[in-house]
């Protein structure tokens, strides 16, 4: 068995092993070449920091990594780990980490982060044994939006750019990687940014991809909550989605008000994940 980074791997070869690895996952899914390419670009996956396990020059396992520097911390995010069914039970995930972690330490990486589905006990045990600890629980919601009459004093309009300084002032919790600023900036052309205004003041916003029915972020100014602003934003999202199912993933379960609100408008928590982190540079 050989381990090396994925800089020279053809994306078609990665697609094949990716789909085979996730074909019997707890939540099975299948990507097209276009979708995998979009994932790599949007999530800023770096093939030089990603690693594969190769048997006779054939890839049979992988870890896809992305990187960002935030608050003077270098964070490497596991955007996907897979091992084909035939090669499971051989400790390949640990071996791939054993291969790549020294290189990440050389880059002064502080934290490794990932998400794992609640109930995937083998994966949770494997990551725990590697030094990862659960940092928070993330809830994934989906359903058809059901909103009642909303405040006529709130005007929702599309914005032409992200207003991150204002948006962040509305946050109670930090978005997960796939809904983070660094990722959404890459996806700008696919997204609709909705701003909710009271008179001329921006008091709430939502970021939505109408092509796939996915809400990435929604937040309301702390002083303007319980005024129907979130409902107004989701009413517009519901109209844009034309009755199709809407998804909002990775809602921090510590935000009970958000979870209650999403259930109230018709979405259900259909699966949950744990965010896990491993500080690999504790000596610094």
pTM: 0.90
Cα radius of gyration rounded to whole Å, the chain: 20
pLDDT of residue 118: 95
Give the residues of the chain that fall short of pLDDT 50.
284
CATH 3.40.630.30, applies to 141-271: yes
CB-CB contact of 198 with 148 (8 Å): no
Give the Cα separation of 272 and 282 in Å (integer): 29
Give the Cα separation of 172 and 35 in Å (integer): 31
pLDDT of 203-226, one tens digit each? Answer: 999 999 999 999 999 999 999 998
Q: Which letter does DSSP use for residue 161 in this model?
A: S
pLDDT of residue 152: 73
Give the Cα separation of 34 and 50 in Å (integer): 19
Averaged pLDDT of the chain? 93
Give the Cα separation of 100 and 50 in Å (integer): 8
pLDDT of residue 24: 85
Question: Helix, strand, or coil here: 8?
Answer: coil
pLDDT of 257-280, one tens digit each? Answer: 899 999 999 999 999 999 999 999
Length of the chain, please? Answer: 284
CB-CB contact of 51 with 3 (8 Å): yes
Q: Where in the chain is the domain with CATH 3.40.630.30?
A: 2-109, 141-271
CATH 3.40.630.30, applies to 2-109: yes
């Amino acid at each position: 068995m050989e381990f090396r980074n994925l800089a020279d791997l053809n994306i078609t070869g990665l697609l094949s092993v990716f789909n085979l690895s996730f074909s019997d996952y707890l939540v099975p899914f299948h990507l097209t070449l276009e979708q995998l390419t979009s994932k790599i670009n949007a999530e800023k996956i770096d093939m030089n920091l990603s690693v594969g396990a190769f048997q006779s020059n054939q890839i049979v396992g992988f870890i896809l990594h992305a990187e960002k520097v935030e608050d003077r911390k270098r964070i490497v995010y596991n955007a996907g780990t897979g091992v084909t069914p035939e090669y499971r039970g051989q400790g390949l995930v640990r071996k791939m980490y054993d291969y790549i972690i020294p290189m990440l330490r050389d880059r002064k990486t502080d934290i490794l982060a990932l998400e794992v589905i609640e109930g995937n006990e083998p994966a949770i045990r494997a990551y725990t044994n590697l030094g990862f600890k659960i940092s928070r629980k993330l809830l994934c919601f989906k359903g058809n939006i059901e909103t009642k009459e909303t405040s006529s004093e709130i005007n929702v309009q599309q914005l032409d750019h992200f207003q991150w300084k204002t948006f962040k002032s509305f946050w109670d919790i930090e978005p997960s990687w796939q809904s983070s600023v660094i990722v959404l900036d890459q996806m700008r052309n696919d997204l609709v940014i909705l701003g909710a205004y009271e008179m001329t003041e921006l008091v709430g916003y939502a970021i939505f991809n109408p092509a796939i029915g996915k809400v990435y972020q929604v937040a309301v100014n702390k002083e303007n909550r319980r005024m129907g602003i979130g409902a107004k934003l989701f009413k517009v999202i519901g109209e844009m989605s034309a009755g199709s199912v809407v998804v909002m993933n990775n809602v921090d379960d510590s935000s009970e008000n958000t979870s209650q609100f999403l259930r109230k408008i018709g979405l259900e928590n259909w699966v949950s994940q744990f965010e896990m982190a491993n500080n690999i540079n504790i000596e610094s």
